[in-house]
Structure 1
């Protein structure tokens, strides 16, 4: 009984990966279910058995993007630990996600859809923002513990995300640059911590 399920799962994954490839290459509007089926090596009927429409297939791709973000290691605030040590764990977990090829591929698809179909992207962008809540929660907890100066947690979290993505997301997404080396990751993390704690630490 398990073999057919595994085969079904493999076909479903092949369809999703083919869709990611085709959406990246041609965009959402131009990509057809026929092309996705051909790239996946399955019949068009199989594609429709898994995904009744192209919109639902695209929604599944976005769902995987949300999942990859939301399952990123959450670092809970600890009152008895140095802020810098905790923040470093949070930022390194974030950089690990940003360096993941599958995450970057999904993000490219989502961004391309946002550019070509802003109305389709509005809800997507809102949900992406919601998924970056881990750092906001950590900042809010440190603020409540009196270890940070008065600040807007969402604004401060966005500042840190901007510092990281300026090196480890947007150059890779828009210019095809290579992922950061370990030394460069450390430099980005240390610099971001210096700026954040230098400005906000109580």
Structure 2
């Protein structure tokens, strides 16, 4: 059963994202956030002592989309293309979520504006084990003799980057709607083909 306090905090976070998005971090106020959330300032301060604490929670909310913990294992009996496609679709299911894009846009804007805010985001990214768990998968593929990769972190970052260059960054920057499931799948399929052509052993 969901606690009433959990619902209230979720309302506060959503309201903070809306207020920060409209006014920017500096111009936003705790009073404005409490009004948007429909809670008293006393209730707001009960959960969050200041705007910085609220912003850090928003960053955590963003980061948890990247840090979905489940076992990533290479399976020698399954084609590399099939494995990589399925893993990537699972790990990037957030990418066509409008709430995520709104949050990401807010965080990126504040990081550009404020050095201290950017340090918070960098520290969160550094806490993630690797890019979507795929570095572990790639190493297992190498150990199985199915992949040949000299620089795993670079290979995976280039792979993920090629996908996000098509179905994340343009939408984030131009405020266009998130990509459809079909667009996500087509982009991932193309990236998988390029990855396999470069790194799969013959």
Within 5 Å, which residues of 2 pair with 1:1-202?
6-71=3-68, 75-128=72-125, 130-131=127-128, 132-202=131-201
8 A contact 1:72–1:94 mirrored in 2: no
Q: Give ranges in structure 1 of 5+ residues lacking alignment.
A: none
- Give 1 or 2: higher helix fraction: 1
Number of residue pairs the alignment of both structures matches: 199
User: Is residue 98–residue 178 contact of structure 2 (8 Å, CA) maintained in 1?
Assistant: no
Deviations 1:83-137 (A, max 9, x none): 1110010222244221122222221121112111123212413432553341222
Q: Which runs of 5+ in 2 are unaligned?
A: none
Q: 1:73, CA displacement in angstroms? A: 6.0
Q: TM-score, normalised by structure 2?
A: 0.89
Question: Shift of residue 36 of structure 1?
Answer: 0.6
Is the contact made by 1:95 and 1:164 (CA closer than 8 Å) also made in structure 2? no
Regions of 4+ moved over 4 Å:
none
Aligned-residue CA RMSD (Å): 2.0
